[in-house]
Amino acid sequence: MELFTDKTIDETRQGEAFSSKENQENTFSRKFFIESYGCAMNFSDSEIIASILNSNGYGSTKFEEDADLIFLNTCSIREKAELTIRKRLTEFRKLKKKRPGLLIGVLGCMAERIKGKLLEEEKLVDIVVGPDAYRTLPLLINEAESGTKAVNVLLSRDETYADISPIRLNSNGVSAFVSIMRGCNNMCSFCVVPFTRGRERSRDIESIINECKDLFSQGYKEVTLLGQNVDSYNWVDHVNGTVADFAILLEKVAQISPTLRIRFSTSHPKDITDNVLFTMRKYDNICKYIHLPVQSGSTRILQLMNRTYTREWYLGKVKRIKEIMPECAISADIIAGFCTEEEKDHQDTLGIMREAAYEFSYMFIYSERPGTLAAKRYYDDVDIDTKKRRLAEIIELQNKLSFESNTKDIGKHSEVLIEGDSKRSDAHWVGRNSQNKVVVFEKDPLKQFKKGDYAIVEITDYTQATLFGRIIR
């Protein structure tokens, strides 16, 4: 699920603002400020929340000092993610003293995990709302405005917010997230997500296609279809008696236009099918990149994690992907120091990384989460220094693998979707190729490229994180 390349997501934070016309006109008397943490699903949810608030007369502001309402859309995935939120909340104390009417809301996974207790633990919080209860936000705000603290953490079996048009926040106007399902039924033993986001449910296929078409007509060139486990997407249309799986959804989105790129995240190795792989191969505009979290390379640890595959089965899946699409990049999530992990299990993780030759990885130290199967059944018995050392070895190996993968790109011609000026210089463009690698190249004064255009770039240089090249056409 994690789509940002340079940080673990739960440390990512962004103040957000409307890019919509309504907001530019600034007609709202009451303003909210929203900050998102965690995975892409949370960032996408903030766009749904913005839409709900907007329809109820609240405009967004980029500045917390100007806000009547401050919302933190939170993450619980690791302890550190929650500590970051707690620290951030303390920063609002002064603001609240200065402006007694200011309301503070905690939304998202941490709200769902801790529930009403958050109000006792964090006295300055007025509103607590879980991921399935955002439609009730306007009511809860009214309640809080009249002086009663407000909580709604009910989980739902069918809420997908399918009918709500998200308001794109901090958008680059080129790529957008589209949520295709919510929740997770997998119960990996380390993971808090099934508790914070509830049962898995798929969103109406027509509403997904319409959202993607709408984005394309507004000039967007890339959509990322989001879910905790996209390969188990399953929409049953009871009226027509039809069923759509993820391969069908992918194909329908790919057919919107050959110039609309499609990405998706996350794939659970147990669920990605040959049908999905063949659909990816069939359409050039479906990016050749799969995020396929492995978590560990040791079959014993995978079993304790309840991942339902073995080391060999996972490697078989990687082989199949490469057979069908030799150019496909693969990335992983990896956890260091899960309960009972020994040195030989850790070596198995390093070994599977070499065999799969990941282009990137998102790597974490195991963090015990209250209420999970692992917290109930196993001891968190790997000491922190060992966890840190193993993580450092995993990161070092991944850096080497990324570097080796980039070495092989020299001389290749890559199609790059231009996302904007490079951070380092506005004489350079930055974008990504199909394999999700970041490519930086010099602007050519003779070729009138703009953000959202595709350029063919010859790769001439690289670091472990970035490819550099020159425009061919």
If binding is defined by CB under 6 A, does position 296 make contact with ligand SF4?
no
If binding is defined by CB under 6 A, does position 109 make contact with ligand F3S?
yes
Residues 390 and 142 sit within 8 Å (Cβ to Cβ): no
- Under the rule (CB under 6 A), what is the footprint of ligand SAH? 1-2, 77-78, 190-191, 193, 228-229, 266, 268, 293, 295, 333, 335, 364, 366-367, 369
Give the chain's length.
473
If binding is defined by CB under 6 A, does position 227 make contact with ligand SF4?
no
Taking residue 21's Cβ as centre, other Cβ atoms within 10 Å add up to 7
Nearest to 277 by CA among 309, 246, 252: 246
Stretch of residues binding ligand SF4 (CB under 6 A), selected from 32-40, 183-191, 243-251, 319-327: 183-191
Measured CA to CA, the distance from residue 227 to residue 462 in angstroms comes to 32
Measured CA to CA, the distance from residue 117 to residue 370 in angstroms comes to 14
The neighbouring-strand residues paired with 291 are: 331
Measured CA to CA, the distance from residue 288 to residue 414 in angstroms comes to 12
**Exactly one of 197, 201, 261, 291 binds ligand F3S (CB under 6 A); which one?**
197
219: left (phi over 0), alpha (psi -120 to 50) or beta: left
Choose among ligand F3S, ligand SF4, ligand SAH, none what residue 366 binds, the Cβ cut-off being 5 to 8 Å by kind: ligand SAH
Give the chain's largest Cα–Cα span: 65
If binding is defined by CB under 6 A, does position 188 make contact with ligand SF4?
yes
Q: Is the peptide bond before 84 cis (omega within 30 degrees of 0)?
A: no
Choose among ligand F3S, ligand SF4, ligand SAH, none what residue 335 binds, the Cβ cut-off being 5 to 8 Å by kind: ligand SAH
If binding is defined by CB under 6 A, does position 361 make contact with ligand SF4?
no
Stretch of residues binding ligand F3S (CB under 6 A), selected from 120-128, 140-148, 191-199, 459-467: 191-199
If binding is defined by CB under 6 A, does position 267 make contact with ligand SF4?
no
If binding is defined by CB under 6 A, does position 196 make contact with ligand F3S?
yes
DSSP code, position 203? P
Measured CA to CA, the distance from residue 344 to residue 342 in angstroms comes to 5
Which CB, 4 or 63, lies closer to ligand SF4? 4
Choose among ligand SAH, ligand F3S, ligand SF4, none what residue 67 binds, the Cβ cut-off being 5 to 8 Å by kind: none
The DSSP secondary structure of 154-195, one letter per residue, reads ---SS---TT--PPPBS--SSEEEEE-EE------TT--HHH
**Exactly one of 105, 166, 194, 431 binds ligand SF4 (CB under 6 A); which one?**
194
Choose among ligand F3S, ligand SAH, ligand SF4, none what residue 194 binds, the Cβ cut-off being 5 to 8 Å by kind: ligand SF4
**Exactly one of 34, 48, 75, 250 binds ligand F3S (CB under 6 A); which one?**
75
Which CB, 193 or 223, lies closer to ligand F3S? 193
Which CB, 105 or 337, lies closer to ligand SAH? 337
Distances from the Cα of 49 to the Cα of 19, 36, 45, 72, 168, angstroms: 14, 11, 6, 11, 11
If binding is defined by CB under 6 A, does position 179 make contact with ligand F3S?
no
If binding is defined by CB under 6 A, does position 201 make contact with ligand F3S?
no
Residues that bind ligand SF4 (CB under 6 A): 184, 186-188, 191, 193-194, 228-229, 268
